Structures are given as structure tokens and as C-alpha cells.
């Protein structure tokens, strides 16, 4: 969780106080990046104020809110689309 919160601060400029962590969801994908194995772990959080300013790091060029289908269309990899669908199912089931 410490890493996730740090990355959220670094990549989007959002602090832990701006988030409500949705416990119980965790999804993981493994892949190769630049010739090396990589594992990404995904957790869920709700932004307490949807109007909060997002400040992207130099690693990103844009952001936007998107519904499930739009987010899946933006996700280039089927594994990421699967994570998005798992998260949507988790929320829809009221498990958070």
C-alpha cells in the first residue's frame, strides 16, 4: 500500500488524504518491459473530491475519467482490460 500511495502521489499528484482506499480488491499482471520481467499490482481507491486537481508526472501526456468500455478501448493490452473488468465487477457487486 505504501508503494501504491507513493506512486499515486508521484504520477498524479494526489495524496493519500484525497483517496478512500477500497479494501478487498487486488489484481496483478506480469509482462515483459524493455526485455525484463515486470509485475504490476492494481488496487482500487475512490477520489474523495472528483474536482481535485490531477498533476501528471513527466511520464504521462494526458488523463481523463472514463467509463468501463471507454477505458477498455484506451487500454492497449487484453490483460489491462481484464483488470478493468475485474475492478468494475468488484464495485458492481458492492464488495467495497
Looking up residue 46, the CATH number of its domain turns out to be 3.90.79.10
Type and span of the H or E element at 42: strand 36-47
pLDDT in tens, 52-87: 999 999 999 999 999 999 999 999 899 999 999 999
Longest dimension (CA), the chain: 39
10 Å Cβ neighbour count for 14?
Answer: 20
pTM of the model: 0.87
- 1: pLDDT confidence band, cut at 50, 70 and 90? very high
Domain count of the chain? 1
- Residue 21: pLDDT band (50, 70, 90) is very high
Range of the domain at 77: 2-92
Q: Quote the pLDDT of residue 76.
A: 85
44, 90 Cβ separation under 8 angstroms: yes
Amino acid at each position: 500500500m505504501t508503494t501504491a500511495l507513493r506512486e499515486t502521489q508521484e504520477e498524479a499528484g494526489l495524496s493519500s488524504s484525497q483517496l478512500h482506499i477500497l479494501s478487498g480488491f487486488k489484481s496483478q499482471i506480469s509482462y515483459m518491459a524493455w526485455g525484463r520481467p515486470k509485475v504490476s499490482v492494481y488496487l482500487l481507491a475512490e477520489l474523495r473530491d472528483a474536482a481535485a486537481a490531477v498533476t501528471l508526472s513527466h511520464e504521462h501526456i494526458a488523463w481523463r475519467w472514463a467509463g468501463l468500455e471507454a477505458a477498455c478501448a484506451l487500454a492497449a493490452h487484453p490483460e489491462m482490460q481484464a483488470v478493468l473488468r475485474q475492478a468494475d465487477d468488484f464495485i458492481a457487486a458492492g464488495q467495497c
